[in-house]
Amino acid sequence: MIVTVTAHPSIDRTVELAAPLHRGSVGRARAIYEQAAGKGVNISRVAVAAGVPTLAVVLADATSTFAQDVASDDIPASAIGNLAVRVNLTLTEPDGTTTKVNSSSEEVSTAQLDLLRDEVMRAARGASWVVLTGSLPPGAPTRWYADVAAQLASEAETQGVNVAIDTSDHALRDVVATLGDCRPALLKPNAEELAGVTGEDPGSLEASPDRAAAAARRLVDAGAQAVLATLGPAGAVLVTSQGAWRAAPPTVSVASTVGAGDSSLFGYLRAALEGLAPAPCLASAVAYGAAATTLPGTTLPISDQVHPELVEVTALSGETPSPVGS
């Protein structure tokens, strides 16, 4: 089972524009979508569509409209605390260009975070993966994800659980600073996030898979078991102790990039649950991410829309290329 943890959930409101966005002018919406979200909820939603057991642990009032919307989508969830859920706005243009305006929730209390941590530890028992995702709410210590990951790694009842972390800014920096204690099975930064913790230039990482892999290798050497770095249209790289691989996505018509990173992370987890080797795990991640970009608004892909066989995977740094099916 995949347990996802969303400490800073949101209602995602997506406005699909009929024409390119021009600042200061009046635009028209072709469609408006609204969905209970947050990175962990998105991953659990894709898991449900794929028939993979999941539980979304969310810092939100169990009686809220948000929690009711999650339940109406048949997503198994555990809503903890009474944090008011924020609203995030996304504008998508006809060519797929996406503009996001994210808000923050109210300040979280120590008591609410303790409730969330206790629920994560409970849900982790018997799970295959625990995924710590997204930003942290105002008032949360930036070390919160790092501390939870370290606790999962140290307690006897949860030591066999694989931990994946997909966060940013100070929370990601604190995770990277404590990789020896966290020992995550997977880190999933994008190019900007990877650059932020390695001192590289984001554009250089997107332009050079070898450079991105070298930056990710530093995190593996520091204690991460694997790093999946998504590079936008350039695809992604995966680095483990076994080697480094680059995946080029298939050519697709982009409708919206909302949820693409979350879909990529699920694609990796799904393949890992099936016991696949690193190269096919990377192919699955890129295939899921590419499929998500072809869908409008907040729509996330189902299995029939995902084609890992169309993803080209190449070994980097002198490694022997691995067939996707190996």
CA 179 to centroid of chain Cα atoms: 18
Q: Determine the 3-state secondary structure of 312 from DSSP.
A: strand
pLDDT for 317 equals 67
Is 325 contained in some domain?
A: no
Place of tokens 């943890």: 5
pLDDT for 104 equals 84
Q: Which two tokens stand for residue 70?
A: 């999650």
Main-chain dihedrals φ then ψ at residue 31, nearest 5 degrees: -160, 155
pLDDT for 99 equals 92
Q: Which two tokens stand for residue 295?
A: 């869908």
The pTM (predicted TM-score) of the whole model is: 0.90
Q: Which two tokens stand for residue 248?
A: 């080029």
Per-residue pLDDT of the chain (326 residues; tens, 9 = 90+): 999 999 999 998 989 999 999 999 999 999 998 888 899 999 999 999 999 999 999 999 999 989 999 999 999 999 998 888 999 998 989 988 889 898 888 899 999 999 999 999 999 998 999 999 999 999 999 999 999 999 999 987 888 899 999 999 999 999 999 999 999 999 999 999 999 999 999 999 999 999 999 999 999 999 999 999 999 889 999 999 999 999 998 888 888 787 899 999 999 999 999 999 999 999 999 999 999 988 877 788 999 999 999 999 999 964 433 344 33
Is 14 contained in some domain?
A: yes
Is 143 contained in some domain?
A: yes
Type of residue found at 232 = G
The total number of structural domains that make up the chain? 1
Please enumerate in sequence order all residues whose Cβ is within 8 A of that of 129, keeping only pairs 6 or more positions apart, or say none.
1, 2, 3, 161, 162, 163, 164, 185, 269, 272, 273
Is 323 contained in some domain?
A: no
Closest alpha carbon to 243 in 274, 217, 204, 273: 217
Whether residue 311 contacts residue 273, with contact meaning beta carbons closer than 8 Å, is answered with: no
pLDDT for 74 equals 95
In 10 A of CB 21, how many CB atoms? Answer: 13
- Give the structural domain span for 263: 2-315
CATH no. for residue 40?
3.40.1190.20
Is 321 contained in some domain?
A: no
pLDDT for 164 equals 98
> Residue-wise over 30-43: b if at least 16 C-beta within 10 A, else e?
eeebebbbbbbbbb
Please enumerate in sequence order all residues whose Cβ is within 8 A of that of 300, keeping only pairs 6 or more positions apart, or say none.
42, 45, 46, 49, 259, 262, 263, 292
Closest alpha carbon to 123 in 158, 154, 171, 94: 158
* Helix segments in the chain, DSSP class H: 39-50, 65-72, 110-124, 144-154, 169-177, 179-182, 191-198, 202-207, 209-222, 260-273, 278-293
DSSP 190: B
pLDDT for 323 equals 41
Is 67 contained in some domain?
A: yes
Is 88 contained in some domain?
A: yes
pLDDT for 238 equals 98
Is 322 contained in some domain?
A: no
Cα distances (angstroms) measured from residue 118 to each of 111, 141, 215: 11, 16, 34
